[in-house]
Amino acid sequence: MKIRAGCRLCARFDDSLERALYDMAHMPARDLRTLTSLAGHQADGLSEKAKDIARRRRQEDMRSSGADRAKLSRMRDDLFDNILDILAKGGEGSGLLDSYLNNASRYALEERVAHGDMSRSIVEEKDMLEALGIFADAKLIDVFEGTYRLTPLGCRRLARHILKTILENISPGLPGINPTGDEGFGMSEGFTTRRYEFGDEFSRIDTQATLLSALQRNRAFPIRFKEADIHIRETTVASRIANGLMIDASGSMTGNKLKAARDVCLALSELIGKTGSDILKVYVFSSTVRAIPSWEILNHRFSGATTDITAALRRFRADTRSFHGEKQVYLITDMASNTENGKYVGFERAAPGVLEEARRCSLNGITVNIIMLDETKSMADLASIMARRNAGRVFFTKPGDLGRVVIEDYLQKTMRRKGRP
């Protein structure tokens, strides 16, 4: 589907761009037809831009309609004048009337005028498409076959906006996001390599391992490389934190809960990216667990299935087994675990497995922080037991405070690590 190019200058300096992008990121439906039908009833940023485009189009239509109306009026006046002349001379005017009624140009003019009258209060699909084009031209979204998804650039821009908003509301006295020159950690090249993953620094590419991989796959010359051939040198870093953000993707995580979870994912990713020392691994889990890049959270469709907390913790423990440094998990959920090994077993049978996995996490140096978006008694009791056994913490909060709670806790931990009071 072709997108009409929007104005990059307007997209860059429009103060409402981030707010509109935020609304777009959290829309439950992203297809053109649905967005157009809802535009007349919603006040979100995208709908307002579409309404503004429709308003300008209607003004242009009205100017064009005025000229069409004047032309129709002249055609009618000419018809009546000619009929009166013929009748005054004793002739028959039916031929002129038939010619007027069968005039194709007159019919086209009346069609345009009628369409303009009907569409004056309607946002059409072409208006919504042009509104999307403003964001597509700025590389913030991709539009394909009438649907859109946020690009990594759009997600990063939105992440900066969300983090800024959260930082404006956290407790005074906490550090900002400006790293100091003396972080108290070091980095050295390791002896092992692994395959390239999205986000790895190109400076860490191991050229020898990459070349060998390409030769093993195909000994023909010239050598042709594929992404799977690229190998990255592992590094050993001290005094860092591996953060696991686990987001419950079960059926109850909808509305404001889901919006808040996505926001904190972007904000934490932006904050950790600016510090340059810690890492963040993002997981969405229900009856299964999936690791995703942080920016993909806005395009991820939650499954709406059951909840397996054990599998989520086990996945992070496995993924960070060789990590040297502190490890902690932020587990965001609103209900008790009820699934084990992909099968629904109920809370009573799933709880022992969760406690056992929390114990294993503790043995592997992983602190589990549980953030409850709903005060379910069964999960509250389980979370309290987990915290005592794992030396983690339990936060009971509402979706509107989720971002502040997580970012504030992370910043406090950063202060303690740097020896600040």
Q: Rounded to two decimals, what is the model's pTM? A: 0.67
For 143-194, the pLDDT digits (tens) are 988 889 999 999 999 999 999 999 988 866 555 443 333 333 334 444 467 8
For 64-93, the pLDDT digits (tens) are 666 666 777 777 777 777 777 777 777 776
Fold of the CATH domain 238-417: Rossmann fold (3.40.50)
pLDDT the model gives residue 48: 82
* Per-block mean pLDDT, blocks of 10 residues, the chain (421 long): 38 60 85 81 76 79 65 74 74 70 73 58 80 89 89 91 89 50 40 72 81 82 84 65 93 86 94 83 93 91 84 96 91 88 90 92 93 80 83 88 92 71 50
What CA–CA distances, in Å, run from 137 to 5, 19, 141, 151, 201? 6, 17, 8, 12, 27
Rg (C-alpha) for the chain, rounded Å, is 31
pLDDT the model gives residue 330: 96
pLDDT the model gives residue 130: 87
Six-digit token string for 200: 């790895």
pLDDT the model gives residue 235: 57
- CATH 3.40.50.410 in the chain is located at 238-417
pLDDT the model gives residue 178: 39
- The dihedral over CA atoms of 385, 387, 393, 397, expressed in degrees to the nearest 10, equals -30
Beta-carbon contacts of 236 under 8 Å, excluding residues fewer than 6 positions away, are 187, 188, 189, 190, 324
pLDDT the model gives residue 319: 95
Measured between its terminal Cα atoms, the distance across the chain in Å is 57
